Amino acid sequence: MTELLWNEQKCLTLMDQPFFELIHEAYTVHKQNFKVGDMEFCTLASIKTGACPEDCAYCPQSAHYNTGLKKEKLMDIDSVITAASNAKQNGATRFCMGAAWRSPPKKDLPRVAAMIRAVKDLGLESCVTLGLLEADDAVALKEAGLDFYNHNLDSSAEFYSTIIQTRTYEDRLNTLKQVMAAGIKVCSGGILGMGETRIDRIRMLLTLYELPISPKSIPINQLIPIPGTPLAKAPPLDPFELIRTIAVTRILFPEARIRLSAGRENMVDETQAWCFMAGANSLFIGDTLLTAKNPRLEHDRILLQKLNMQLPEVCNAKS
C-alpha cells in the first residue's frame, strides 16, 4: 500500500501556519485545479420533513427536540418536478433532495427513484441524502441514475458520540462504503461550530482522505444554532477557523467541490469571500436550505458580482 501524503501531525502543522501562508497555499492549489471565479450552484429540497427518530444534537428535524418545525410526509413527484424546474431556472445545475429518515423505508424507495429520474430528465445532476443505506438500497438509487449521495461524517469519530447517540460513526462509514460499492459519487463533509476542536476537524478530514475513493464533493456546514436543540447556545465559530478549515480541505482534496453549505445566512460577506479564496467553490442557492434560511438569491448575485465570480445562469429551457 502506498503511504498517504497527509497525517494528523502534517495537517496540524499545515493549519497552524500563519494565516496568509495557509491561504496562499490553498489558493495556489485551487487555481491549479479550477478556473478563477468558478462556482457550482445547487438547490436543496426537503422531500420528507421532521419527525426523525435520530437524535443529532444540531438538527431541527429530530423528533427528540421541540423545535416547532412542521412535519411533512414524503413529497409527491409533481412537487419535486416543480421545485427542480425552478431551481434550474434560477441557475442551479445540481438538485439535492433530503429526507429526515434514519434510513429510507423500503416502501418509499420507488418514489425516491422516480424523483431522481425526473431530476435527471430535467438535465440536472442529482443528489440525495436519506440517511443510512443498505447495499440493495444503494444499487436501486444508482439504477435510477443518482449522481451523488450526501452522507456527512459531521465530525471526528471521537467527537461524534457526544452529538449523536442513536447511531455510530461506523454506521456512517458503512453507508459510505455501500455508496462507493454501488458506483455513486460520495458527497461527505461536516459541521463546524458544535464545540469540536481543531484536531476533531482535522480527524474528520483525514477520515475522508483515507476513503478508498476520494470524495469529489465536500460540504462544510457552519452550525445553524436551532432553538430547542441541545446546540442552540453553542458559542459561535471563529470565522478564521472556518476559513482555515476550508483551506486545509482544499489542499487535501485538490479536485473536490468544496461546498460552503449551511450557515451562510449568519456569515458576513467578507467571511464568505475569504472562504472562496481558501477554496470553497460550491453554494446552495435559494431562500431555504432544507428547513433553515439561506441568503436570498439576489444577495448572492450581488456578492458574487462584486467578487467578479461566476453567477448562477438564469435558464428558461425545460431540459
Q: Which residues are designated catalytic?
A: 52, 56, 59, 96, 127, 187, 259
Cβ neighbours of residue 260 closer than 8 Å, sequence gap 6 or more: 220, 246, 272, 275, 276, 280, 282, 283
Q: Nearest approach, Cβ of 10 to ligand DTB (angstroms)? A: 26
Applying CB under 6 A, the residues found at the interface with ligand DTB are: 44, 60, 96, 98, 129, 150, 152, 189, 219, 221, 224, 261-262, 289-292
- Which residues pair with residue 46 across a beta bridge? 98
What does the CA dihedral 171, 175, 176, 178 come to, rounded to 10 degrees?
140
Residue of 41, 58, 169, 209 interacting with ligand SAM (CB under 6 A)? 58
What's the maximum distance between 2 C-alpha atoms anywhere in the chain?
53
In the complex with ligand DTB, which residue's Cβ is closer, 119 or 290? 290
Q: Nearest approach, Cβ of 71 to ligand DTB (angstroms)? A: 13
Residue 262 binding ligand SAM, by CB under 6 A: yes
Phi, psi of 165 (to 5 degrees): -110, -20
Q: Nearest approach, Cβ of 33 to ligand SF4 (angstroms)? A: 30
Residue 59 binding ligand SF4, by CB under 6 A: yes
Rg of the chain taking only CA atoms, in angstroms: 19
46: left (phi > 0), else alpha (psi -120 to 50), else beta?
beta
In the complex with ligand SF4, which residue's Cβ is closer, 28 or 161? 161
Dist CA 157 CA 162 (whole Å)? 10
Which of ligand SF4, ligand DTB, ligand SAM, none is residue 291 near (CB under 5 to 8 Å by kind)? ligand DTB
145: left (phi > 0), else alpha (psi -120 to 50), else beta?
left
Residue 188 binding ligand SAM, by CB under 6 A: no
Residue of 221, 245, 272, 294 interacting with ligand SAM (CB under 6 A)? 221
Where helices occur in 221-268 by DSSP H, the ranges are 239-252
Residue of 97, 100, 187, 304 interacting with ligand SAM (CB under 6 A)? 100
Which of ligand SF4, ligand SAM, ligand DTB, none is residue 96 near (CB under 5 to 8 Å by kind)? ligand DTB
Residue 191 binding ligand SAM, by CB under 6 A: yes
DSSP 123: T
Residue 304 binding ligand SF4, by CB under 6 A: no
Q: Nearest approach, Cβ of 43 to ligand SAM (angstroms)? A: 15
